[in-house]
Amino acid sequence: MAGENDPVIKLFREQISDNDLKLVDLLNKRIKLVTQLWQYKRQHDLDVYAPAQEDWLLTYATRANKGPISGAALHEIYRHIIEVTQHEARRLPEPAEAEAPDR
């Protein structure tokens, strides 16, 4: 491949890889928190699914977005994150006991 030995390209790729690892870590943390939230809701006979919260999240993230990602692209990514999070949270065994999160 052209540019494989270019130090600038190498630096950009390293920074991109570092950010990718951070994204993976954050997604895993999100899934664990959702799993704990769902368990807490079930223990208190509350609905697990909260479409209004999903709508709020999309609005919140869009307002916080400073670009360069477009609002439409951000919505698409978050819709997919929500879908994957729900799928993974259903797949995982529930924690022993859900507690209120530490602040």
The answer on pLDDT for 95 being more than 70 is: no
Q: Where are the domains of the chain?
A: 7-91
Which pTM does this prediction carry?
Answer: 0.81
Q: Could you report the per-residue pLDDT of 1-52, keeping only the tens digit for each?
A: 667 789 999 999 999 999 999 999 999 999 999 999 999 999 999 999 899 9
What is the secondary structure of 1-34 as a DSSP string? Answer: -TTTT-HHHHHHHHHHHHHHHHHHHHHHHHHHHH
Q: Residue type for 84, please?
A: V
> Could you confirm whether domain 7-91 is CATH 1.10.238.10?
no
